[in-house]
Structure 1
Amino acid sequence: MSASSIGTPDQLRDPNYTPALGRAIPLGIQHVLAMFVSNVTPAIIVAGAAGFGFGSNSPDFPELLYLMQMSMLFAGVATLLQTVTIGPVGAALPIVQGTSFAFLPIMIPLVAGKGVDALAALFTGVIIGGLFHAALGTVIGRIRFALPPLVTGLVVMMIGLALVKVGIQYAAGGVPAIGTPEYGSLLNWSAALVVILVTLGLKFFTKGMLSISAVLIGLIVGYIYAIGVGMLSVESIGTSWSRASAFALPVPFKYGWEMSAAAIIGFCLMAFISAIETVGDVSGITKGGAGREATDTEIAGATYADGFGTAIAGCFGAFPNTSFSQNVGLIAMTGVMSRHVVTIGAIFLIVCGLVPKVGGVIRTVPIEVLGGGVIVMFGMVVAAGISMLSDVEWNRRNMVIFAISLSVGLGLQLEPGAVQHLPDTARILMTSGLLPAALIAIVLNLVLPEHLAEESTEEVSGGMAGHGAGSLPHD
Structure 2
Amino acid sequence: MSENVPANTDLLYRLHDRPNPIKAFLGAIQHVLAAFVGIITPSLIIGGTLGLGEHIPYLLSMSLIVSGVATFIQTRKVGPIGSGLMALQGTSFGFLAAVLTAGFVVKNRGGSPEEILSVIFGVSFLGAFVEIFLSQFITKLKSFMSPIVTGCVIVTIGLSLTKVGLTDLAGGFGAEDFGSIPNLLLGGGVLVSVVLISIINNKVIRSSAIFIGLMLGLLAAVFMGRIDFSLVSEADFFTVPIPFKYGFGFDWQAFIPIAFMYIITSIETSGDLTATSMISGEPIKGPLYEKRIKGGVLGDGVNSLIAAVFNTFPVTTFSQNNGVIQMTGIASRYVGFYVGGILCLMGLFPILGAIFTQLPKPVVGGVTLLMFATVATAGIRILSTVDFTHRNVLIIATSLGLATGIAFVPDVLSQTPQFFQNIFGSAVTMSGIVAITLDMILPKNYGVEFDTAEQHAEDGLKPAQKVA
8 Å CA contact 1:83, 1:95 repeated in 2: yes
**TM-score normalised to structure 1 length:** 0.75
From 347, 352, 357, the equivalent of 2:346 is 352
- After TM superposition, the structure 1 stretch with the greater mean CA deviation from structure 2, 384-393 or 311-320, is 311-320
Structure 1 residues 344 and 166: CA distance shift in structure 2, 3 A: closer
Structure 2 residue aligned with 1:81? 73
Deviations 1:148-200 (A, max 9, x none): 121111112212222222222222222222xx5x3311111111112112211
Asked whether 1:392 is paired with 2:386, we answer: yes
In the alignment, residue 450 of structure 2 is paired with which amino acid?
Answer: S
Q: Which amino acid aligns with 2:305?
A: A
Structure 1 partner of 2:266? 271
Q: Does 1:376 align with 2:370?
A: yes
1:28–1:344 contact (8 Å) kept in structure 2: yes
CA gap 1:331/1:62 in 2 versus in 1, 3 angstroms: same
Which residue pairs with 2:25 in the alignment? 29
Q: Secondary structure at the match of 1:294?
A: helix
- Choose 386-395 or 278-287, whichever is displaced more: 278-287
The 1:364/1:464 distance shift into structure 2, 3 A limit, reads farther
1:97 alignment partner in structure 2: 88
1:254/1:297 CA distance change after superposition, 3 Å: same
Aligned mate of 2:42, from 37, 41, 46: 46
1:439-458 aligned within 5 A: 439-456=433-450
The answer for the alignment partner of 2:7 in structure 1 is none
- Asked whether the 8 Å contact 1:124–1:264 carries over to 2, the reply is no
Which residue in the other structure is 2:147 paired with? 149
Over 3 Å counting, the alpha-carbon distance change for 1:157 and 1:286 in structure 2 is closer
Cα offset for 1:387?
2.2
Q: Secondary structure at the match of 1:321?
A: strand
Structure 2 unaligned blocks of 5 or more: 1-12, 108-112, 459-468
| One-letter identity of the residue aligned with 2:90 | T
Question: Residues of 2 paired with 1:466 and 1:244: CA distance?
Answer: 70
**Which residues of 2 match residues 45-444 of structure 1 at below 5 A?**
45-46=41-42, 52=48, 63=56, 65-66=57-58, 68-82=60-74, 85-90=77-82, 93=84, 95-99=86-90, 104=93, 107=96, 127=125, 130-177=128-175, 180=176, 182-232=177-227, 236-238=228-230, 240-253=231-244, 259=254, 261-278=256-273, 281=276, 287=282, 294=288, 299-315=293-309, 316-322=311-317, 325=322, 342-444=336-438
8 Å CA contact retained: 2:35, 2:90? yes
- Separation in 1 of the partners of 2:368 and 2:183? 14
Q: Is the 8 A contact 1:125 1:260 kept in 2?
A: yes
SS in structure 2 at match of 1:218: helix
Inter-partner Cα distance in structure 2 for 1:413 and 1:121: 30
Find the aligned partners of 1:371 and 1:13 in 2 and give their Cα distance. 27
Is the CA contact 1:173–1:367 (under 8 Å) kept in the aligned structure 2? yes
Q: Percent identity?
A: 23
| Contact persistence 2:47–2:53 (CA under 8 A) | no
The runs of 5 or more residues in structure 1 that have no matched partner are 1-11, 468-475
Mark the CA change 1:221 to 1:52 in structure 2 (over 3 Å): closer, same or farther: farther
Distance 1:38 1:228 in 2: 23
Q: Which moves more between the two structures, 315-324 or 385-394?
A: 315-324
Contact 1:154 1:438 in 2 (8 A): yes
CA contact (8 A) 2:240 2:348 kept: yes
Relative to structure 1, the CA distance from residue 409 to residue 96 in structure 2 (aligned partners, 3 Å threshold; closer, same or farther) is closer
Distance in 1, matches of 2:73 and 2:188, equals: 38
What do residues 241-277 of structure 1 show as CA deviations (whole Å, max 9, x unaligned)? Answer: 1221121123445677562544432332121220343
Q: Distance in 2 between matches of 1:121 and 1:28?
A: 39
- Could you tell me how far apart the structure 1 residues matched to 2:381 and 2:456 are? 20
Could you list the per-position Cα deviations for residues 326-365 of structure 1 after superposition, in whole angstroms to 9, with x for gaps in the alignment? Answer: 676699868x77x5x6545533432232111122111111
With normalisation by structure 2, the TM-score equals: 0.76
What amino acid does structure 2 have at the position aligned with 1:78?
Answer: A
